[in-house]
Amino acid sequence: MLDRIKGALFGLAIGDALGGTTEFLSKEEVKEKYGRLTEIVGGGVWKLEKGETTDDTAMTLAVAKGIIKNPDDPISAIGEYFLEWYQSNPKDIGNIIRTVFELYDGDWFAAAKLAHEKYLGGLSAGNGTLMRCLPVALSYKSLTKVEEITERQSEMTHYDNKAAEACLIYNRIAYKVLNGGDLSEAIAQEVKGTIYETVLEGKKPTCLPDGYVVHTMQWVLYWLMSSETFLDVVVGAANEGEDSDTVGAIAGGLAGLAFGYEGIPKEYREALLEKDTLVEISNQLQFASL
Ligand SMILES: [Mg+2]
């Protein structure tokens, strides 16, 4: 179990660190600049240090810490860690999340609704809650509890139900894999009857891998269904550009969960600047809710 939990957090952070280099570039620009990017090198639009991660990993750790602090009812603790991160003045923060943070006045759900209706033109189906929801699936024995907290952590910032729906599908897959299920089988079962069912045809999505959660999710599922190894998933996502760090983080999280910590090449695990924190949080998550 611990090997899978560690694999999930490291996989997510590696996808983030690799994709952080190519974020906002087009696929053609990535090719021109890097040929095929296969190593964690830093740089990119955020001028990352080698092994540095971005908001995807930071917010995932905030969700994890909130659950560790108060597993039964983690929402306000998660919110406290969100604000702690926000106050650290991060270099990258998504537009929807920034808007909600600025409006927050003691009630996350009210802030998300207000942001959606008054400031975001009714557009709040970004991928910012999908990128951080994985720790929920790693923390609870009960699937009902996983589903409840998964949905609520999404609604804290993203009012559009499409965001929560993607998180639910993703974490149901994660829950199955954590408990010994096969990744491809879990995906096939959980996307059936949803808007993501077409991914089972195995074709490359025709949309861009951008920040719209429906697009992100199609690419995530595509990389997971079409890849043989952990590296195929995160390297594939990084070289596609656009919102590559977030697609890489989301796909890398599930891939790391499936392959386990020992299934991730050591040099990639070692490259992460936050590796000690990731080990520590994984250990605590394992015992968050027994
Ligand atoms: Mg990011």
* Under 8 Å between Cβ of 278 and 16: no
Percent residues over pLDDT 90 in the chain: 97
Distance 260 CA to ligand 1 centre (A): 23
Distance 146 CA to ligand 1 centre (A): 24
Distance 16 CA to ligand 1 centre (A): 7
Q: How confident is the model over 30-81, as pLDDT tens digits? A: 999 999 999 999 999 999 999 999 999 999 999 999 999 999 999 999 999 9
Mean of pLDDT values over 150-170? 98
Mean of pLDDT values over 110-132? 97
Distance 19 CA to ligand 1 centre (A): 8
* Under 8 Å between Cβ of 139 and 71: yes
Distance 182 CA to ligand 1 centre (A): 28
Distance CA 69, CA 155 (A): 20
* Under 8 Å between Cβ of 61 and 82: no
Q: How confident is the model over 11-22, as pLDDT tens digits? A: 999 999 999 999
The model's confidence at residue 91, banded by pLDDT at 50, 70 and 90, is confident
Main-chain dihedrals φ then ψ at residue 98, nearest 5 degrees: -60, -45
**111 against 290, higher pLDDT:** 111
| Residues facing residue 54 across a β-bridge | none
Mean of pLDDT values over 76-104? 96
Mean of pLDDT values over 280-284? 96
Which one of 1.10.4080.10, 3.30.930.10, 1.10.10.60, 1.10.3430.10 gives the CATH number of domain 2-286?
1.10.4080.10
Query: What is the chain's Cα-based Rg?
Result: 17
Is the pLDDT score of 289 beyond 80? no
* Under 8 Å between Cβ of 281 and 65: yes
| Residues facing residue 48 across a β-bridge | 43
**The one-letter amino acid at 147:** E
The model's confidence at residue 5, banded by pLDDT at 50, 70 and 90, is very high
- Mean pLDDT, all residues of the chain: 97
Distance 15 CA to ligand 1 centre (A): 10
Instruction: Give whole-number Cα distances, 81 to 26, 32, 107, 134, in Å.
Output: 33, 39, 15, 16
Is the pLDDT score of 290 beyond 80? no
Mean of pLDDT values over 122-150? 97
Residue 201 confidence (pLDDT)? 94
**Is the Cα torsion angle 34, 228, 132, 264 positive or negative in sign?**
negative
pTM of the predicted protein model = 0.97
Mean of pLDDT values over 227-247? 98
Distance 53 CA to ligand 1 centre (A): 8
Is the pLDDT score of 264 beyond 80? yes
Residue 288 confidence (pLDDT)? 80
Q: In sequence order, what are the residues at sequence separation of 6 or more whose Cβ sits closer than 8 angstroms to the Cβ of residue 201?
A: none
